[in-house]
Amino acid sequence: MSPTLQAVLYVTTVALILALAHVPLGEWMYRIFTDERDWRMERLVYRLVGVDPRSEQRSSVYAVSVLAFGVVSVAFLWLLILVQGWLPWGMGRGQNWHTALNTAISFTTNTNWQSYAGEAGAGHTVQMVGLTVQNFVSAATGLAVAAALMRGIARQGADRLGNFWVDLTRACVRLLLPIAAIAAVLLLVGGVIQNLDAPQTITTLAGQQQAVQGGPVASQEAIKLVGTNGGGFFNANSAHPFENPNGWTNLLQIVLILLIPFALPWTYGRMVGDRRQGAVVTAVMAGLFAVSVTLTTWAERAAAVGVAGSLEGKEMRFGIVPSAIFGAATTSTSTGAVNSMHESYSPLGGGLLMVNMQLGEVSPGGVGTGLYGMLVMVIITVFIAGLMVGRTPELLGKAIGRREITYAALASVTMPALALLFTGASLLIPAARDALLNSGSHGLSEMLYAYTSAANNNGSAFAGLSADQPWLNLSLGFCMFVARFGIIAFTLALAGSLARQKRRPVTEGTMPTHTPLFATLLTGIVLVLAALTFFPALALGPLAEALS
Amino acid sequence: MTAMTRQLWAATRALLVLTVLLGVAYPLGMTALALAMPDRATGSLVMIDGRPAGSVLLGQATVEPQWFRARPSVSDYSGETSGGSNWGPSAAELSADLAARAADLRAVNPLAPAGPIPADALTTSASGLDPHISPAYAAWQAPRVAAARGMTVEQVQRLIDANMTSGELGFLGADRVNVTTLNAALATLGR
């Protein structure tokens, strides 16, 4: 089978599954975030937490709840990792204080950058009670913020955006937990391990010793992907045969990664009462993603001419095409799981994976984060288009004024500012430069990839970087925290500002936001913003390497 | 109590409640369910004489000529850790590694056909535990293994075919030979 046909069949299969799933799933999420009734289990949670599920929050209070939950999560996880030696299933594994802090921030912010290797840094208690939990709740937090922004656009003359504790709980109980449980069973059937054993040492056929790892992997693997988290149970992540044993599980993983991000635009269309608005967002996300998959697959195939055949850092059960598609999926959503080593990709292939993140994780982006990131882009597009044609910038009857565009601009500038400033600073710091494995333009790519990944809460890496040292752990942790909660704060402020407005009547002067023309403009704005900010850095890294 | 303190207190309680549900009940429930599939849940072990001799999913290090070799591995298949080389495509170190491995393979495979060595024989995998090689690399090693075991190449090739998996649906995965089960078949030959 020719690689081109293989890629076409693969992408078509994924697209068909997503097309079938996105309506019922989008509809289900719409109900989750609009339902007036609570499930019995949820009422129990609210009683234990001490919140009234019917009381809604202003945008500032909502933001404080998100931040408080984040801060408490970081503190709890940091502590848990530091004391794991005294807990059951510690198995002698541990991390020093700055690695543990990096890990705590990383999993709380849905980044799942890993400065530690799972086999050495996290026992089963930390994996379950710490990391699995953050895989759920960080994804649920993203969904909650997306729900708040959708309500802000949908409501008028309102000062409330919903209740964070309700959105968080419902996202976990009604959405993530059921999907994760089903996915975990499918992964188990596919051969992913699930036990509580310590590694057992066996004598191999040739008489050598080998450690066979144990652990509750399937349960964590499922939410790692559904929640677009991406933190591997093992160091090799989804390349490890115990996490991703064959072609079927690999397809399942790609589908799980893309499932919720591609269903959320439907939810958006329903929330604002105009499905065409959601369709535009889906079309732009799918268009960008299709181009990325095509180019990445092409780049990896084109590089397969040398003695290495584009197989360095790839697994034989997948081969080139399924590896490249996984790579595009994991970087286009803020997942960061890897089934092949991105650092060993061809210069253009690896560069494209970086570009996927630099678009701001909107194609389709992470769970919740992708939608709110794209809606910020919608607002910027409305504003710029309005200026170009001299019409009042409006989104669904809400004026995009000084306040709104300020919040949107701050939300969109946070990521590139962090990524570029810290890449530049780290290249000047000898201790950080010494952490690079590769040299020359690829070394620059290695550093740029790290901070791009952290500032986008992606978590994948050009993993040659020896990131387990104080400067990199702390600065990457800073980027992850500020990018995550900074953008959330700006997004919620934007939501609050939109919610307060009355909807203006549609006139001839209103620019429609549901047309192919608007989709084209939106795509252009996403691409131009990324190109303007990142082209110089990309020219020195992957482009220079590709041309040399 | 200030607003922030109240929020932090609510956050603490929410985290604890959700931890019990998602970090204890869920993974332990899945582990209980996994008891229904003990073989897969514990790593699909290869049993020989009642003892585990490896996992179907994990490659193993071999150096002797009578065993098929899996791909080069950064961790030499220790299982203690996992990962790839992370050399960039234009790294001089990668070129040097590839050349050294090619020279080594040529030296220990004097009977192998001339022409280029299959790429998977020279490159490290992403996990360092890849149990699979391409059918081409398996066939390339067959003369060496056959000679070391006093078998014909055809006999060895039949075992290779028996341990070959086609790519799922033809496009979800690659055609591949499982070196661990192939070597296990060699180990138990004639029993």
Structure confidence by residue, pLDDT tens digits, A404-458: 999 999 999 999 999 999 999 999 999 999 999 999 999 999 999 999 999 999 9
pLDDT at B148: 97
User: A436: helix, coil or strand?
Assistant: coil
Query: Can you tell me the mean pLDDT for B180-185?
Result: 98
| Residue A316 scores a pLDDT above 70 | yes
Per-residue pLDDT tens over the stretch A106-136: 999 999 999 999 999 999 999 999 999 999 9
CB A219, CB B27: distance < 8 Å = yes
Per-residue pLDDT tens over the stretch B164-177: 999 999 999 999 99
User: B45: helix, coil or strand?
Assistant: strand
User: Which of B10, B62, B90 lies nearest to residue A165, judging by beta carbons?
Assistant: B10
Q: Distance between CA atoms of A276 and A279, rounded to whole angstroms?
A: 5
Return the HEC string of A199-263. Answer: CEEEECCCCCEEEECCCCHHHHHHHHHHCCCCCCCCCCHHHCCCCCCCHHHHHHHHHHHHHHHHH
pLDDT at B190: 74
pLDDT at B24: 98
Q: Distance between CA atoms of A494 and A475, rounded to whole angstroms?
A: 28
User: A429: helix, coil or strand?
Assistant: coil
Q: Any CB–CB contact under 8 A between A255 and chain B?
A: no
CB A496, CB A59: distance < 8 Å = yes
List the structure tokens of A275: 């499905």
**Residue from A307, A323, A439 whose CB has the most chain B CBs within 10 Å, to mutate:** A307
Q: What are phi and psi of A320, to 5 degrees?
A: -70, -50
Per-residue pLDDT tens over the stretch A452-473: 999 999 999 999 999 999 999 9
User: Which of B7, B11, B130 lies nearest to residue A315, judging by beta carbons?
Assistant: B130
DSSP per-residue codes, A115-176 = SS-HHHH--HHIIIIIIIHHHHHHHHHHHHHHHHHHHHHH-SS------HHHHHHHIIIIII
User: Which of B91, B119, B173 lies nearest to residue A309, judging by beta carbons?
Assistant: B119
User: B88: helix, coil or strand?
Assistant: coil
Q: Which DSSP category does A15 fall into?
A: H
Q: Chain-wide mean pLDDT for chain B?
A: 96
pLDDT at A506: 84
Within a 10 A sphere around the Cβ of B104, how many other Cβ atoms? 12
Task: For residue A482, give every residue at least 6 positions away whose Cβ sits within 8 Å of its Cβ, in sequence order, or none.
Answer: A414, A418
Tell if the CB–CB gap between A344 and B127 is shorter than 8 Å. Answer: no
List the structure tokens of A517: 């023309």
pLDDT at B1: 63
The domain limits of chain B are 1-42, 43-187
Length of chain B counted residue by residue: 191
Q: Chain-wide mean pLDDT for chain A?
A: 97
Tell if the CB–CB gap between A213 and B79 is shorter than 8 Å. Answer: yes
List the structure tokens of A109: 């912010």
DSSP per-residue codes, A443-478 = HHHHHHHHHHHHHTT-----TTS---SHHHHHHHHH
CA distance A160 to chain B (A): 17
Q: Which DSSP category does A540 fall into?
A: I
Interface ipTM > 0.90: yes
Q: Give the pLDDT band (50/70/90) at residue B4.
A: confident
CA distance B147 to chain A (A): 18
Query: Can you tell me the mean pLDDT for B52-56?
Result: 97
Q: Distance between CA atoms of A128 and B21, rounded to whole angstroms?
A: 11
CA atoms in the 13 A half-sphere facing the CB of A165: 31
Per-residue pLDDT tens over the stretch A480-522: 999 999 999 999 999 999 999 999 988 887 889 999 999 999 9
Q: Which residues of B touch A136 (CB under 8 A)?
A: 18, 22
Residue with tokens 């969904």: A143
CA atoms in the 13 A half-sphere facing the CB of A168: 28
Q: Which residues of B touch A309 (CB under 8 A)?
A: 118-120, 123
Q: Distance between CA atoms of A267 and A406, rounded to whole angstroms?
A: 26
Query: Can you tell me the mean pLDDT for B61-81?
Result: 97
Do the bridges between strand B51-55 and strand B132-133 make them parallel or antiparallel, or are there none, so unpaired?
A: unpaired
Q: Which residues of B touch A339 (CB under 8 A)?
A: 126
CA distance A91 to chain B (A): 13
Q: Which residues of B touch A192 (CB under 8 A)?
A: 40
pLDDT at A391: 82
Q: Any CB–CB contact under 8 A between B167 and chain A?
A: yes
Per-residue pLDDT tens over the stretch A59-93: 999 999 999 999 999 999 999 999 999 999 999 99
Question: Longest Cα pair distance anywhere in chain B, in angstroms?
Answer: 83
User: Which of B21, B54, B64 lies nearest to residue A210, judging by beta carbons?
Assistant: B54
CB A372, CB A146: distance < 8 Å = yes
The chain A residue lying nearest B17, using CA atoms, is A45
| Residue B191 scores a pLDDT above 80 | no
| Residue A275 scores a pLDDT above 80 | yes
Within a 10 A sphere around the Cβ of B162, how many other Cβ atoms? 11
Which amino acid is present at A387? L
Q: Distance between CA atoms of A457 and A300, rounded to whole angstroms?
A: 25
**Residue from A49, A205, A321 whose CB has the most chain B CBs within 10 Å, to mutate:** A205
CA atoms in the 13 A half-sphere facing the CB of B39: 8
